[in-house]
Structure 1
Amino acid sequence: VYTGNVTVTRDAGIKLADVPFSVTVWDFELPKAPSLRSAFHDYDAGYRRGAVSYYGYVPGGAQHLSLAKAMDEDLLAHRLMPESPFNVGFSIDSTGHIVPNPEGEAVLESWLARPEVSDYKLYFNTTSPFADPLGADRAGAINYLRDAYEWLSSRGFLNKVWLRQVDDPDTPAKFQLARDLADLIHQANPNYNAAVTAQFYKPGVASYLYGHLNILIMAGWSFDPVASAQRQAARNQIWSFNALAPGIENPSPFWQIDFPLLNFRIFPWINFRYGLTGLLYWTTAYWEEIQARGASPWTDPCSYRSGASCFNGDGMLVYPGKEVNYLIPQNAYGQASSASVYGPIPSLRLKALRDGMEDYELLALAASRDPSRAKQIVIQVACAGNPDPGNAAANCFHHWNQDPDGILQARAQLASIITAPR
């Protein structure tokens, strides 16, 4: 236990208060590699629509590249993964084969070798890098996927790799597309993990996706514990995702400014409760609607509007550094940041998410020592003490602990399990 005192002063050194503090340091470290996988900021992954446009940087220029690097690194610093890290991928020829590119491959290998990078979504979707992957470009798509698999597996990175081509299908045609693309991926190599965002209650999920997709990324507001357990027993990975505020009559931990910070922190706890292994969020710097109104994210919170509804702070976990003159210096991240650029200012919402990601590590460490006690603690926090009736309407995504002090007390209990003599 360390103790000290902080003196708060104002202009001219006038003292306002002395604030005593104590810090308890636990005798263990969190692993660098996050145990809870994640994928944030797939929308506008290159930051062109949001930050690049907001700052007036030239797309593809040195400032753009440096800004994208700074934004991706900021997510990593919060134990979260950029779903599509900018400028990190393969070069291919017209037949789909990977073209040797030592410089580009060195960037990719350096990124994937970092222990804090838990995930990498291989670039492949319905229109790029092939315009018609299920038709005229099928052979090229398979060549690309097979070459990428060989490259990634030979370097020991395959455990970090997955693919996602279709977002939340809601028609038979879109469900069929998600299924056909997953089958194409598995034709290239059956060991690939193909993912899709979806919602358990939609009929097409079971009839089209089960048995074809490896990772089912399910909305928290429509989560079904029974279906999740069944798919996990069938060796699917189940993740969760969040966006907007649907189903307000039966709320879940929505991620807007209007709601408590605990809503952000609690998501990893609920994930642990149900054995969910990943967390996805659509974007982190959605400033474009605010910019279109000639406003600033610092003073106008309405980041996303749908009809008369305003979703304050949705898709906006960072603020622009321009208004507060926060600059990332040149070469801050080596050659990838050759220009000085305005940096992202993390919101308290992003900090709360990082706290939740760290809480997940405490749960994982404690569960490795005392699984039953760790389960009791996670039920107390994630489910407000309710063991969970196990249905889609009354599960822990709708009945979660809303006492921040309860989380702090639970963390101390987890630490005592981790540090107890064996």
Structure 2
Amino acid sequence: MGVVGWAWAVAVLSAAPGGPTVVSPLVKVRPDATPKGAAQARLSVARGECEATQVVLPRGVTRVTMKPLALKGPGAPLTVDAWREAYLDVKTPSNGQGKTGPWPDALVPLSAPGNPQHPTVVYVEVCVPLKQAAGTYTGSLSAAADGKDLPAVPFTVEVQPFEIPATSSLPNSFGISLYSIAKGHGIAADSAEAKALLRAYGKALLEHRVSAHGMGMDPPPVKFQDGRAVLDWTAYDAELGPFLDGSLLPSGARFTTTDVRDNKKASTDAEKTAYYRAFQQHFADKGWPTQLFFYAKDEPKPEDVPLVKAQSQRVRAAGRIPVLVTSPLDPALQGSADILTPTLNCFYPREGPQTCRAVANTATVRTRLPPRAKVWWYQSCNSHGCTGGPPPDAALDRAYSDWASYMVDAPAPLNRAMGVLAFSSGVDGELYFDTVFAYNTKKDVWTDLFEFGGNGDGTLFYPGTPAKLGGSEHQPVLSLRLKHLRDGLEDYEYLRLLTTLGDGDFARAAAKRLARSGHEITRDPAEWEQVRQEVTARLVKRQASEQAKRSGRRTSGGTP
């Protein structure tokens, strides 16, 4: 579970006046905030997990420098990464719980100049390799503000004796497009630079436990011979192969899912089916465990039902590629979806105006689907309101408030809650339509992310151009929201692991303490931290018990 360690909550030490202050990553430090914190950072991290904290520096700082830090302990030194938080000026709140003014979101290199009118906040992160030795690692974080040395921040990481998998146990698929990336960075989409940049964006998603659909967008070239589809996989494999076979990252992480790229050259039903069959066969030949799926017409209207049914029939005729349909339960679409994907609002009843036409929990949805069908969900503007700003009707504003949300001006716990909710609800996966949507508009992404009534809907990155960041290379700039999303997926892993170790009741109770429903999520960072401590302690105890049992079986001559 991705919460910063215990020290910020306990605050054993008080921060020196004018010195750095360590605060929870679940606090968004706004200009009018005076966050309470500690003078030291202490993180609890599983193997295979990334954890972070925020270090608040004195105000009015333009340049921040930080000495490289390697934490020493019983294993190889742990490295520390750091970014400065840049602010988005929100002009229209996403809903009644949002506010105008600067909100922290973009994580820019420390070398990028800051705005002295905004708080100076450094996001500091430690990622622990899967094979790291458990134990305590320590060091001191030394920073300077505009050339003036600041008091060092003692930094302690407790590496726990359990691990979470490199690849997300919860399948997911978030959209991204080479063409949007190229437009956002002002480079040619067919250039080598754009293709390298796409890989950097995809790698950033994978490092945050997120799989992608779309990517390069272009389908493999196809020819049809004697009823067979013959595809040229050269470019496709070069682009996606490392994401599907686990060779891109040292951890071996891979995409959990990716989409079939439809091809206009396949014009008849027979050609389309042959094309899909070739896609399926190629994945089998490669031995890629990634789940291939077909994304049917998005959010189909009544007039789109015949199209969705035809799409489903053609794909199913090819074999075993599941068809994903973004819709609530709908009798008109009965039997068309292998992965039914309603919005988050469709799973939780709520008083007041309804934001989904067919509300049902996961278990109920499953009873209406074929036996092997999956249930995913996704966020939409239903999580914040689709017009932007508080609506005149207070009841309507309440209906669109408090949901788990990826908006910039939503509290950090709401950015993070999807993992906990996925565990307690039992959904099979998560979809999100885009991560670079605003790149494809005429807006300056750095100053305006307002889309579909929300600040940041469909955009989890910022274009790191040389003009913006300096230097000569383009790079993806991550958002705090992507970090919170990652932490939520790590929450899921903790709760899932505890369940596999036989403590499912405790895991479910812990999840409910954090999020009783999709719109009843605790915003108290201390409560998130307390639950994390209890779940971690339970995991350590359960794992030690399992290891003792295995050791006993080996000693007695049984099968390990």
TM-score w.r.t. length of structure 2: 0.61
Give the aligned residue type for 2:308.
A
Distance 1:359 1:40 in 2: 19
Residue 30 (structure 1) aligns with = 164
Over 3 Å counting, the alpha-carbon distance change for 1:301 and 1:61 in structure 2 is same
CA distance in 1, matches of 2:189, 2:143: 44
What is the Cα deviation at residue 57 of structure 1?
Answer: 1.0
Segment drifting more, 32-41 vs 16-25: 16-25
Give the match's secondary structure for 2:434: coil
| 363-372 or 158-167, larger mean C-alpha shift | 158-167
In structure 2, the partner of 1:138 is 269
Residue 346 of structure 1 aligns with an amino acid whose one-letter code is L
**Alpha-carbon distance, 1:103 to partner:** 6.2
- Cα 1:210–1:354 change in 2 (3 A) is same
Counterparts of 2:310 and 2:221, CA distance in 1: 25
Partner Cα distance (1:179, 1:320) in 2:
38
Change (3 A) 1:351 1:55: same
Conserved? CA contact 1:297–1:303, under 8 Å: no
DSSP-derived class of the 2:230 partner:
coil
Aligned equivalent of 2:260, options 123, 128, 146: 123
CA offset at residue 94 of structure 1? 4.2
Give the counterpart letter for 2:478 in structure 1.
Answer: P
Aligned partner of 1:382: which letter? A
Alignment of 1:248-397 (within 5 A): 248-250=397-399, 251=401, 252-288=403-439, 292-293=442-443, 296-298=444-446, 300-304=447-451, 310-322=453-465, 323-325=467-469, 341-369=473-501, 370-383=503-516, 396-397=517-518
Say whether 1:221 aligns with 2:345. yes
Q: Greater CA deviation, 173-182 or 351-360?
A: 173-182
CA 1:167–1:326 in 2, change beyond 3 Å: closer, same or farther? farther
TM-score by length of 1: 0.80
Question: How far is the alpha carbon of 1:30 from its aligned partner?
Answer: 1.5
Cross-structure match for 2:77:
none
Distance 1:213 1:268 in 2: 24
How far apart are the structure 2 equivalents of 1:326 and 1:81? 29
Residue matched to 2:205 = 75
Q: Which amino acid aligns with 1:265?
A: R
CA shift digits 1:77-101 (9 cap, x unpaired): 1111111232686331146603354
C-alpha separation in 1, matches of 2:164 and 2:218:
27
In structure 2, what is the Cα distance between the partners aligned to 1:262 and 1:280? 19
CA change 1:366–1:374 in 2 (3 A) is same
- Give the whole-Å Cα distance in 2 for the aligned partners of 1:412 and 1:112: 34
* CA–CA distance in structure 1, aligned partners of residues 144 and 289 of structure 2: 53
Q: Is the 8 A contact 2:206 2:254 kept in 1?
A: yes
Shift of 1:120: 3.4
> Conserved in 2, the CA contact under 8 Å of 1:319 and 1:347?
yes
The one-letter code of the counterpart of 1:311 is G
Contact 1:253 1:398 in 2 (8 A): yes
Structure 2 SS opposite 1:351 = helix
Name the SS of the counterpart of 2:340 in structure 1: strand
> Quick check: 1:66–1:341 contact (8 Å CA) kept in 2?
no
Kept in 2: contact 1:6–1:20 (CA 8 A): yes
Structure 1 segment 234-245 matched on structure 2, within 5 A = 234-244=371-381, 245=384
**Superposed CA offset, 1:360-408 (max 9, x none):** 111111110111111111111121xxxxxxxxxxxx1122222222222
3-state SS of 2:150 partner: strand
Distance apart, 1:36 and its partner CA: 1.1
1:18 alignment partner in structure 2: 152
Aligned partner of 2:144 in structure 1 is 9
Aligned residue for 2:283? 152
Q: Distance in 2 between matches of 1:268 and 1:179?
A: 31
Q: Deviations over 1:123-168 (max 9, x none)?
A: 245xx33565xxxx11101111122222222333355211112111
Q: Cα distance, 1:108 vs. partner?
A: 4.4
Partners of 1:8 and 1:101 in 2: how far apart? 49
Percent sequence identity is 24
Which amino acid is the alignment partner of residue 141 of structure 2? V
Q: Is the Cα contact below 8 Å between 1:30 and 1:361 reproduced in 2?
A: yes
- Counterpart Cα distance in 2 of 1:217 and 1:326: 41
Displacement after TM superposition at 1:271 (Å): 1.0
CA 1:253–1:111: 2 relative to 1, 3 Å: closer
Structure with the bigger percentage of helix: 1
Instruction: In structure 2, give the amino acid aligned to 1:373.
Output: F
State the shift of 1:106 in Å.
5.7
Q: Which structure has the larger Rg over C-alpha atoms?
A: 2
Bigger Cα displacement from structure 2, 95-104 vs 237-246: 95-104
Rounded to whole Å, the distance in 2 between the matches of 1:343 and 1:182 is 38
- Greater displacement, 25-34 / 397-406: 397-406
Gaps of 5+ in 2: 1-135, 247-251, 349-358, 386-395, 546-560
Q: Which runs of 5+ in 1 are unaligned?
A: 328-339, 384-395
Alignment RMSD, CA only? 2.6
Most deviating of 149-158 and 32-41: 149-158
Alpha-carbon deviation of 1:351? 0.8
Instruction: Give the whole-Å Cα distance in 2 for the aligned partners of 1:261 and 1:55.
Output: 28
Which residue is equivalent to 1:407? 528
| Matched residue SS, 1:163 | strand
How many pairs does the alignment contain? Answer: 372
| CA shift for structure 1 position 33 | 1.4
Deviation larger for 269-278 or 226-235: 226-235
Go from structure 1 to structure 2 and tell me whether the alpha carbon gap of 1:185 and 1:103 turns closer, same or farther (over 3 Å shift): closer
Task: Tell me if 1:199 matches 2:332.
Answer: no
* Structure 1 residue matching 2:325: 3-state secondary structure: strand
How far did 1:116 drift?
2.0
Match of 1:390 in 2: none
Name the aligned partner's letter for residue 413 of structure 1.
E
- Give the Cα separation in 2 of the matches to 1:397 and 1:28: 29
Aligned-pair CA distance for 1:104: 4.4
- Secondary structure of the 1:31 match is coil
The aligned residue for residue 391 of structure 1 is: none
**Structure 1 residues 89 and 54: alpha-carbon distance in aligned structure 2, compared to 1, 3 A threshold:** closer
